[in-house]
Amino acid sequence: MDQVAAGMLRAKGLRSTVQRRSVLAALQGHPHSTAAELESRIGIASGGKTSSGGLSRQGLYNVLDDLTQAELIRCIEPAGSPARYELRVGDNHHHLVCRGCGQIEDIDCSTGQAPCLEPFEHKGFTIDEAEIIWWGLCESCHSARQPADR
Protein backbone atom coordinates (compact mmCIF):
# COMPACT_ATOMS: atom_id res chain seq x y z
CA MET A 1 0.00 0.00 0.00
CA ASP A 2 2.89 2.35 0.75
CA GLN A 3 4.00 2.67 -2.89
CA VAL A 4 0.40 2.86 -4.11
CA ALA A 5 -0.29 5.64 -1.59
CA ALA A 6 2.86 7.47 -2.66
CA GLY A 7 1.71 7.35 -6.28
CA MET A 8 -1.77 8.55 -5.37
CA LEU A 9 -0.35 11.50 -3.44
CA ARG A 10 2.06 12.51 -6.21
CA ALA A 11 -0.72 12.24 -8.82
CA LYS A 12 -2.68 14.85 -6.83
CA GLY A 13 0.35 17.13 -6.45
CA LEU A 14 0.90 16.34 -2.76
CA ARG A 15 4.19 15.41 -1.17
CA SER A 16 4.36 11.75 -0.23
CA THR A 17 4.96 12.04 3.51
CA VAL A 18 5.01 9.24 6.06
CA GLN A 19 2.05 10.87 7.78
CA ARG A 20 -0.13 10.97 4.66
CA ARG A 21 0.80 7.43 3.68
CA SER A 22 0.03 6.24 7.23
CA VAL A 23 -3.48 7.71 7.10
CA LEU A 24 -4.18 6.21 3.67
CA ALA A 25 -2.93 2.82 4.89
CA ALA A 26 -5.08 3.07 8.05
CA LEU A 27 -8.17 3.63 5.87
CA GLN A 28 -7.41 0.61 3.70
CA GLY A 29 -10.02 -2.03 4.54
CA HIS A 30 -11.67 0.24 7.12
CA PRO A 31 -14.22 2.44 5.32
CA HIS A 32 -16.18 5.01 7.32
CA SER A 33 -13.46 5.41 9.97
CA THR A 34 -13.64 8.25 12.46
CA ALA A 35 -10.56 10.32 13.30
CA ALA A 36 -10.47 8.57 16.70
CA GLU A 37 -10.44 5.15 15.02
CA LEU A 38 -7.66 6.27 12.68
CA GLU A 39 -5.76 7.71 15.63
CA SER A 40 -5.96 4.34 17.37
CA ARG A 41 -5.04 2.39 14.23
CA ILE A 42 -2.04 4.63 13.52
CA GLY A 43 -1.00 4.56 17.16
CA ILE A 44 -0.96 8.19 18.24
CA ALA A 45 0.07 8.03 21.86
CA SER A 46 -1.59 9.96 24.67
CA GLY A 47 1.37 12.33 24.53
CA GLY A 48 0.16 13.36 21.10
CA LYS A 49 2.88 11.85 18.88
CA THR A 50 3.35 8.55 17.13
CA SER A 51 6.18 6.67 15.52
CA SER A 52 4.41 7.11 12.14
CA GLY A 53 6.51 10.09 11.16
CA GLY A 54 5.73 12.16 14.23
CA LEU A 55 2.01 12.48 13.52
CA SER A 56 0.20 14.35 16.28
CA ARG A 57 -3.55 14.51 16.82
CA GLN A 58 -3.66 17.96 15.19
CA GLY A 59 -1.41 16.63 12.42
CA LEU A 60 -3.93 13.84 11.81
CA TYR A 61 -6.71 16.38 11.31
CA ASN A 62 -4.47 18.40 8.99
CA VAL A 63 -3.69 15.29 6.93
CA LEU A 64 -7.39 14.34 6.78
CA ASP A 65 -8.21 17.84 5.54
CA ASP A 66 -5.40 17.75 2.94
CA LEU A 67 -6.48 14.33 1.65
CA THR A 68 -10.15 15.37 1.54
CA GLN A 69 -9.35 18.59 -0.34
CA ALA A 70 -7.23 16.59 -2.83
CA GLU A 71 -10.18 14.18 -3.26
CA LEU A 72 -8.09 11.18 -2.22
CA ILE A 73 -10.54 10.47 0.60
CA ARG A 74 -14.16 11.38 1.22
CA CYS A 75 -15.60 12.75 4.42
CA ILE A 76 -19.20 12.00 5.35
CA GLU A 77 -20.96 13.46 8.37
CA PRO A 78 -24.10 11.52 9.34
CA ALA A 79 -26.25 13.41 11.84
CA GLY A 80 -25.28 12.64 15.42
CA SER A 81 -22.03 10.97 14.38
CA PRO A 82 -18.46 12.21 14.16
CA ALA A 83 -17.06 12.81 10.68
CA ARG A 84 -16.11 9.60 8.94
CA TYR A 85 -13.55 9.04 6.20
CA GLU A 86 -13.33 6.57 3.34
CA LEU A 87 -11.12 5.86 0.36
CA ARG A 88 -14.03 5.42 -2.05
CA VAL A 89 -14.19 8.71 -3.95
CA GLY A 90 -15.43 10.02 -7.26
CA ASP A 91 -18.45 7.80 -7.79
CA ASN A 92 -21.15 9.71 -5.87
CA HIS A 93 -22.27 6.64 -3.91
CA HIS A 94 -24.61 6.96 -0.95
CA HIS A 95 -24.89 5.43 2.53
CA LEU A 96 -27.16 3.38 4.80
CA VAL A 97 -26.76 4.10 8.54
CA CYS A 98 -28.10 1.87 11.32
CA ARG A 99 -29.85 3.83 14.08
CA GLY A 100 -29.05 1.02 16.52
CA CYS A 101 -25.34 0.27 16.21
CA GLY A 102 -24.16 3.00 13.83
CA GLN A 103 -23.02 0.58 11.13
CA ILE A 104 -22.57 2.32 7.77
CA GLU A 105 -22.84 0.61 4.39
CA ASP A 106 -22.16 1.98 0.91
CA ILE A 107 -25.01 2.01 -1.58
CA ASP A 108 -24.29 2.51 -5.27
CA CYS A 109 -26.14 5.27 -7.11
CA SER A 110 -29.01 3.66 -8.98
CA THR A 111 -29.48 6.19 -11.76
CA GLY A 112 -26.05 6.54 -13.33
CA GLN A 113 -23.64 9.45 -13.30
CA ALA A 114 -23.24 12.12 -10.61
CA PRO A 115 -25.20 13.82 -9.27
CA CYS A 116 -27.64 10.91 -9.96
CA LEU A 117 -30.53 12.87 -8.45
CA GLU A 118 -31.94 16.18 -9.61
CA PRO A 119 -33.40 18.77 -7.25
CA PHE A 120 -36.69 20.45 -8.02
CA GLU A 121 -34.90 23.81 -8.36
CA HIS A 122 -31.23 24.64 -8.92
CA LYS A 123 -31.41 28.17 -7.40
CA GLY A 124 -28.50 29.21 -9.64
CA PHE A 125 -26.19 26.43 -8.45
CA THR A 126 -24.17 24.18 -10.73
CA ILE A 127 -24.75 20.80 -9.08
CA ASP A 128 -22.13 18.06 -9.28
CA GLU A 129 -22.96 15.73 -6.39
CA ALA A 130 -25.89 14.40 -4.38
CA GLU A 131 -25.33 13.07 -0.87
CA ILE A 132 -28.05 10.77 0.39
CA ILE A 133 -28.11 8.97 3.73
CA TRP A 134 -30.81 6.41 4.44
CA TRP A 135 -31.46 5.64 8.11
CA GLY A 136 -32.87 2.42 9.54
CA LEU A 137 -31.85 -0.71 11.40
CA CYS A 138 -29.30 -3.24 10.21
CA GLU A 139 -30.36 -6.88 10.21
CA SER A 140 -28.77 -7.59 13.62
CA CYS A 141 -30.36 -4.60 15.36
CA HIS A 142 -33.72 -5.29 13.74
CA SER A 143 -33.61 -8.95 14.88
CA ALA A 144 -32.62 -7.90 18.42
CA ARG A 145 -35.68 -5.65 18.67
CA GLN A 146 -38.15 -8.32 17.52
CA PRO A 147 -39.99 -10.21 20.26
CA ALA A 148 -38.72 -13.79 20.64
CA ASP A 149 -40.95 -16.51 19.19
CA ARG A 150 -42.88 -18.28 21.93
State the binding site. Answer: 98, 101, 138, 141
Residue ranges of the binding site for Zn(2+): 98, 101, 138, 141
Show the beta-strand stretches assigned E in the chain.
33-34, 74-76, 84-86, 94-98, 104-107, 133-136
Direct distance between the N- and C-terminal alpha carbons of the chain, in angstroms, rounded to an integer = 52
Cβ neighbours for 130, distance < 8 A, ≥ 6 positions apart: 92, 94, 109, 114, 115, 116, 117
- What's the rounded Cα separation, in Å, for the pair 103 and 31? 11
